Homo-oligomer: A and B are copies of this chain.
C-alpha cells in the first residue's frame, strides 16, 4: 500500500494531494494489464476511462485522413508518440471531464500494467470531497493546457509549411 502511494504522488495529476487524499483516490483505481500489441483504446470510440501507466510502453496513433483521389488505396496516415511507465504517463484524461470520442488510438507495444480510473467514480468521489476534486482538476487543467499549447504550435508549423508550398507552387 505505502509503495503504491509513493508511486502515485509522483504523478502530475495527483500533485499536492495528501497521503489521505491519495488513499481515497486509490479506492477508485483498478489495476489492469494489457498484452503486447493489445489495443487499449480506439480513436472515435466514446471513452469514460483514464489510464496511468505503471509498467510498459504504449504507442499513441492519430489518423490523418488524406483525400487522395488518384490513389485507390486511400490510406490513413498515423502520427505516433510513445508513452511509458517510467514517466508515469497518463492518457485518456479528458474522459474524466466528459464522455467524448477518443482523439487517438493507443496500443500496448510491451506487456503493460496500468491503473484505470472511470469518470463516474471520479465525479462521485469529487462531489463528496471537493478539495480532492479541486486539486485533481487543477492538475488536469494544467496538463490539458500544456497539450493545447503544443497543438497550437503544431498548427503554426503546419500553416507555415503550407504557406511556403503555396509560395513555391
Contacts and interface: CB of A to CB of B under 8 A. Distances in A.
Nearest to A69: B164
Contact of A140 (B64, B77, B141, B147): B141
Contacts of A167: 68, 70-71
A126 B156 CA distance: 34
Contact of A163 (B64, B142, B147, B166): B64
A126 B141 CA distance: 14
A87 interface: no
B149 A103 contact: yes
Contacts of A151: 148, 151-152, 154-155
What is the oligomeric copy number? 2
Interface residues of A, number: 46
Interface in A57-77: 62, 64-68, 70-71, 77
A65 B94 CA distance: 30
Contact of A138 (B70, B137, B155, B164): B137
A130 interface: yes
A63 to B, nearest CB: 8
Interface of A: 62, 64-68, 70-71, 77, 94, 96-98, 100, 103, 126, 130-131, 133-134, 137-138, 140-142, 144-145, 147-149, 151-152, 154-156, 158-167, 169
Given A62-B156, A67-B160, 16 more contacts: A64-B156, A64-B160, A66-B160, A66-B164, A67-B164, A71-B167, A77-B159, A97-B138, A130-B130, A137-B140, A144-B144, A144-B145, A151-B151, A154-B155, A155-B155, A158-B159
